[in-house]
Amino acid sequence: MKSMYKITLQLQRCARDITNMSQQAVNGISHRGRVLTLDSMNPNVKRVEYAVRGPIVQRAVQIEKELKEGVKKPFTEVIKANIGDAHAMGQKPITFFRQVLALCSYPALLEDSKFPEDAKKRAQRILEACGGHSIGAYSTSQGIECIRQDVARYIEKRDGGIPSNPDNIYLSTGASDAIVTILKLLVCGEGRDRTGVMISIPQYPLYSAALADLGAVQINYYLDEDNCWSLNITELRRALNAAREHCNPRVLCIINPGNPTGQVQSRQCIEDVIRFAKEEHLFLMADEVYQDNVYAEGCQFHSFKKVLFEMGPEYSNTVEMASFHSTSKCYMGECGFRGGYMEVINLDPEVKAQLIKLVSVRLCPPVPGQALLDLVVNPPQPDEPSYATFMKERTAVLSTLAEKARLTEQIFNTVPGITCNPVQGAMYTFPGITLPQKAIDKAKELGLVPDMFYCMRLLEEDGICLVPGSGFGQREGTYHFRMTILPPTDKLKVVLQKIREFHLRFTQEFS
Amino acid sequence: MKSMYKITLQLQRCARDITNMSQQAVNGISHRGRVLTLDSMNPNVKRVEYAVRGPIVQRAVQIEKELKEGVKKPFTEVIKANIGDAHAMGQKPITFFRQVLALCSYPALLEDSKFPEDAKKRAQRILEACGGHSIGAYSTSQGIECIRQDVARYIEKRDGGIPSNPDNIYLSTGASDAIVTILKLLVCGEGRDRTGVMISIPQYPLYSAALADLGAVQINYYLDEDNCWSLNITELRRALNAAREHCNPRVLCIINPGNPTGQVQSRQCIEDVIRFAKEEHLFLMADEVYQDNVYAEGCQFHSFKKVLFEMGPEYSNTVEMASFHSTSKCYMGECGFRGGYMEVINLDPEVKAQLIKLVSVRLCPPVPGQALLDLVVNPPQPDEPSYATFMKERTAVLSTLAEKARLTEQIFNTVPGITCNPVQGAMYTFPGITLPQKAIDKAKELGLVPDMFYCMRLLEEDGICLVPGSGFGQREGTYHFRMTILPPTDKLKVVLQKIREFHLRFTQEFS
């Protein structure tokens, strides 16, 4: 009981921190005379929210510190299932990738017989494309040319030969950077003319954060939870028509495979979306960073580019699109390198010139990330010495992920009050949770949204860090959380079991 | 004569490209029906300009391609003296840094006896601070904690013991990223309430670009060319008072040592600036990325932080400031890694929370860049095996730079019509050039600003790529160019000689 009291206290403290920050200013920290205060700062930044690293994660970091300092808790470690961070969850890097990166970092190793020839060949090729043969030189702002060529070849292979032009490839600092850059080009106008951007709900909060920052109008379209989080054109049309009353909708963002929802779109659905975008004169943004993360039988990744071109010139010559990819996900999970690219289709050549100008201000994406991206799009080939190891490592990661996707769905669906769609792809599950009315009331009393209250309790009681569904958006009156499936299988089983027990306990407490 | 005709033709083509892009739309590329066009895009982005990678550099890249394809030119290589890119100019990376980065990339090398123990120790420490002991994991958004601690210790040592708090350190993707982030927090208001930001003229065009992008008001204060580009408080006050008529000036940006102007501010000047900022209620942004690049006798780098604290609590407890540093410059010149940090002083705690939220949207700065930064702020110590080599390499770079700084000033000042201030610090010279009236008229006829015409001619005739002074700002009726002093000494001598000859030829042609 005493520990429950403590937890409640902590939650109250937390709620105060989150919801009542301005009060703090009045009570404690004076900001008299300051140039930059909460009141005098950019209001768009204040509107930005990013739940994946929000208050719950800050509390998780704090708890980790407390554990280190010897504070007694009902658990011995915090498991951060809030973010798709594969290496942090124990996934090992792909050997070949890291060998090449070491060679690029310290080229004296090119003389070392311990490194395979194909790794040396790749490193040499990358270094030759760098100024002064050093990854410490700036690259061109669009990214190193031979790497953009490799990206284009990778896309062509992926899309069954549909041509890709290296001039349409822009390397980036992770996918986030490219997404924000394209949105920045698109957002303009005032009042009813302000650019509206359609995003799925649930969404990945980079989108809502970027739209708040840019002062764009966020247009929500809801995914169909009852049908495996599928995208429904009727719902797209509803959202669009409603938005036209108050803004100028110009952009449609799609995440496929879905984050946080894990669905993989059918070819038919993608065709429908493209037709819709053309009819409604929308710029398409296809977030395809999970393109290699497809697990469910019968599901397959179809790139928007490929479907667009298969729909014929009427579409492929007119629909404007940008597709995004990253080194952070898939089988490599190299988040820390911040590598990524986008391919633009049918972008106005004048706008392209503006885009190049805009990216040049930041000089270039990190070159180690560019090098890594080159390896991702140009991995060892069957006739090369590193091929066998590479394939073994790659397959092991992807098949384990597929197993964990199944396991997650299976275990969650045994819990009364948790409903979990199949994790067809990506790295997350977004199950619906039924919360008793008393829990909802208690949350309100504490000034927390109900699923934040739920997740905070789980964190305090079991050391498991999830992200509340409210951070991604959800239909009113429904509650969810996002959990990554990345923990090692054994640990994942423990996590699922603990959540199961917590959920039953929580439900009982408030029934 | 024929070749002169060709050059004129090319210049005309260039001028058309630069100044008349919208015409192109009307004549050629149709954008009927496009969602995103020059007319319908974000107007702030259109206003962005970044001369360091502008049209002249694009032409330089094109010429390089032409040379490769066998096109005959009056030169055999293009020398890109437009950007401070040390490695591209042949400077070798610091061995110790690259050894540690190789170890971090491929930790299997930790077993390799070829690597010195101190490099292994550093790598192990960095890896232990990474999620899953991998630089492929995301770090916290503010940057890895033990690296922020090292940065704080570095600052304390630099500033003679004045305390630095790791909580005030934010790692970044190069310094540019942090500069834009702080500006983003500061810019708000509409019309006469719109935030005004004071920047030096000449300036580093990241500032004007960021201000255009954010829609802030740029307030120009002119550096005193006749006094070694020094900063004059009377001029600051003039600029501020004029600006108060039409906007809300809230920020004062200083670059010390200066880019593109190479001056090093005296301690007295910094004190005056701080006093001015306090009196006028301005947020200070101190761009100190060249803090190790000081060459002139009698000059010394004084950090704004140190001077602020030495002025007593009246100042150190009230003046809000951010100072920026980078891994791209100094003796290491590791531009490609995009490492950097800022230290904030007296930032409102609530604004800090907003800052952390804002940077969390981009997840984290590239981890290899963070690792590199850690080595820069925590290099080999006298009792460590890598110390001797490290010091030898570091000293060699800095003493060569000092020699090149002197050489540049000396040779330029022998040319009638070129006036060159001493390069006291940083990596550039920004000499004034006298252009004959006929050349100015000719430039106007071609639709080019006069110093762009001059630089384009130099590029076409001698393969030397400089940036016109107009890209940095200059007093009306004066003309300059920026040149980096980074080429190897022998090549730099050739470059200076070629510019000398070109200038004489150019002057004669138009006299």
Instruction: Indicate the range of A9-13, A462-466, B367-371 predicted with least confidence.
Output: A9-13
Task: Indicate the CATH number for domain A93-137.
Answer: 1.10.287.1970
Q: Residues, chain B, total?
A: 511
A319 in reach of chain B (CB within 8 A): no
Per-residue confidence (pLDDT) for residue B490, from 0 to 100? 94
Q: Which residues pair with B484 in a beta bridge?
A: B428
Judge whether A141 is closer than 8 Å to chain B, CB to CB.
yes
pLDDT digits (tens, 9 = 90+) for A53-103: 778 988 998 999 999 999 999 999 999 898 889 999 999 999 999 999 999
pLDDT exceeds 50 at position A421: yes
pLDDT at position B55: 83
Residue of B nearest to A334 (CA): B136
How many Cβ contacts (< 8 angstroms) between chains A and B? Answer: 310
> With an 8 Å Cβ cutoff, are B132 and A89 in contact?
yes
- Best of B360, B370, B375, B467 to disrupt the A interface (most A CBs within 10 Å) is B360
- Share the mean pLDDT of chain B: 92
**Would the CATH topology of A2-90+394-509 be identical to that of A93-137?**
no
Provide the pLDDT for residue A16: 53
Pick A101's closest partner by Cβ from B31, B88, B105. B105
Nearest to B250 among A35, A43, A87 (CB): A35
In 3-state terms, what secondary structure has residue B225? helix
Percentage above 90 pLDDT, chain A: 86
Which residues in B lie closer than 8 A to residue A369 (C-beta atoms)? 366, 368
Contacts of B88 in chain A (CB under 8 A): 131-132, 134, 137-138
Q: Do residues A399 and A489 touch, judged by C-beta distance below 8 A? A: no
| Percent of chain A with pLDDT strictly greater than 70 | 94
pLDDT confidence bin for B16, thresholds 50/70/90: low
Mean pLDDT within B460-469: 94
Give kind and range of the element (H or E) at residue B62.
helix B55-68
User: What is the C-alpha to C-alpha distance for residues A118 and B329, in angstroms, rounded to an integer?
Assistant: 33
Place of tokens 């009726």: B477
Q: Please indicate if any CB of chain B lies within 8 Å of the CB of A252.
A: no
Q: What is the arithmetic mean of pLDDT over A310-319? A: 95
How much is the mean pLDDT over chain A?
92
> What average pLDDT does this structure show over B198-217?
94
Determine which helix (DSSP H) or strand (DSSP E) holds B343, and give its type and residue range. strand B339-345
> Looking at CA atoms only, how far is residue B135 from chain A in angstroms?
6
Considering only CB atoms, B48 lies closest to which of A101, A361, A366, namely A361
- Give A210 or A1, the one with higher predicted confidence: A210
Instruction: Give pLDDT, residue B6.
Output: 60
User: Considering CB atoms only, which of A29, A188, A367 is closest to B349?
Assistant: A29
Is the pLDDT score of A24 beyond 80?
no
Structure tokens at B283: 């947020």
Nearest chain A residue (CA) to B38: A351
Look up residue B125 and give its amino acid. R
> Residue B218: pLDDT above 80?
yes
CB pair distance less than 8 Å for A136 and B334 = yes
Q: Give how far A413 is from chain B: nearest CA, Å.
A: 30
Give contacts of A 121-140 with B, CB under 8 A: 130-132, 134-140
| B191–chain A Cβ distance below 8 A for any pair | no
**Mean of pLDDT values over A305-322:** 96
| pLDDT of res. A163 | 96
Do B132 and A346 count as a contact with CB atoms less than 8 A apart? no
Question: Model confidence at A320, in pLDDT bands (50, 70, 90)?
Answer: very high
Q: Chain B residue closest to A333 (CA)?
A: B136
Inspect the interface and report whether the beta carbons of A335 and B138 lie closer than 8 Å.
Answer: yes
* CA–CA gap between residue A472 and residue B325 (Å, rounded): 35
Write down the pLDDT at residue A361.
84
pLDDT tens by residue, B133-152: 999 999 999 999 999 999 99
Closest CA to A273 of A317, A321, A313: A321
Per-residue DSSP letter, A414: T
> Do A247 and A217 form a contact (C-beta atoms < 8 A)?
yes
Span B13-39, mean pLDDT? 56
> Are the beta carbons of B483 and B68 closer than 8 angstroms?
no
What percentage of chain B reaches a pLDDT higher than 90?
86
Confidence of residue B4 (pLDDT cuts 50, 70, 90): low
| Alpha carbon of A510: minimum distance to chain B alpha carbons (Å) | 33
Give pLDDT tens digits for B67-113: 999 999 999 999 989 888 999 999 999 999 999 999 999 999 999 99
Lowest mean pLDDT among A40-54, A135-149, A174-188, A301-315: A40-54
Q: Which amino acid is at A259?
A: N
Quick one: average pLDDT of B316-328?
Answer: 96
Q: CB distance from A371 to chain B under 8 Å?
A: no
What pLDDT, on a 0 to 100 scale, did the predictor assign at position A11?
60
Give the mean model confidence (pLDDT) for residues A293-320.
95
Q: B142-364: what fold? A: Aspartate Aminotransferase; domain 2 (3.40.640)
Instruction: State whether B138 and A83 contact (CB < 8 Å).
Output: yes
State the Cα–Cα distance between residues B108 and A94, nearest whole angstrom. 12
**Do the beta carbons of residue B31 and residue B25 sit within 8 Å?**
yes
Query: Which residues in chain A have Cβ-Cβ distances shorter than 8 Å to B35?
Result: 186, 250-251, 281-283, 320
CA A107/CA A120 separation, integer angstroms = 9
Residue B441 distance to chain A (closest CA, Å): 28
Sheet containing A481-484: order of strands: A428-429, A481-484, A467-468
Question: How far does chain A reach from its first CA to its final CA, in angstroms?
Answer: 18
User: Could you read off the pLDDT of B395-419 as tens digits, one per residue?
Assistant: 999 999 999 999 999 999 999 999 9
CATH 3.90.1150.10 is the classification of domain B2-90+394-509: yes
What pLDDT score was predicted for residue A1?
Answer: 44
What are B333-378's pLDDT values in tens digits? 999 999 999 999 999 999 999 999 899 888 899 999 999 999 999 9
Give B8's pLDDT tier (boundaries 50, 70, 90): low
Architecture of domain A140-365: 3-Layer(aba) Sandwich (3.40)
Q: 3-state DSSP call for residue B80?
A: strand
- B29 pLDDT more than 80: no
| pLDDT at position A337 over 60 | yes
How many Å separate Cα A56 from the centre of its chain? 18
User: Which candidate, A265, A249, A248, A245, places its Cα nearest to that of A257?
Assistant: A265
Nearest 10 degrees: CA dihedral of A243, A244, A247, A250?
Answer: 90
Residue-wise burial string across A130-162, b where 16 or more C-beta atoms lie within 10 A, e elsewhere: bbbbbbbbbbbbbbbbbbbbbbbebbeebbeee
Q: Which residue, chain included where needed, has tokens 């050349």?
A: B439
Domain boundaries, chain B: 2-90+394-509, 142-364
Pairwise CA distance, residues B393 & B97, whole Å: 11
* Cβ neighbour number for residue B266 with a 10 Å cutoff: 16
One-letter identity of residue A486: L
Please, which residues 61-100 of chain B have a Cβ atom closer than 8 Å to chain A? 61, 83, 85-93, 98-99
Report chain B residues whose CB lies below 8 A from the CB of A30: none
How far is Cα A435 from Cα A413, in angstroms, rounded to an integer?
16
In this predicted model, what pLDDT tens digit does every residue of B242-294 receive, in sequence order?
999 999 999 999 999 999 999 999 999 999 999 999 999 999 999 999 999 99
State the ipTM, two decimals: 0.89
Q: Is B190 left (phi over 0), alpha (psi -120 to 50) or beta?
A: beta
Q: Of A54, A134, A320, which is closest to B93 when you measure between CB atoms?
A: A134
Beta bridge partners of A482: A467
Residues 432-491 of B with CB under 8 A from A: none
Residue B194, chain A, CB below 8 Å: the answer is no
- The pLDDT score that the predictor gives to residue A12 is 59
- Provide the residue type at A309 as one letter: F
Q: What is the pLDDT of residue A83?
A: 86
Give me A92's structure tokens: 């090992």
Q: Is it the case that residue B20 has pLDDT exceeding 90?
A: no
Radius of gyration of the CA atoms of chain B, in A: 24
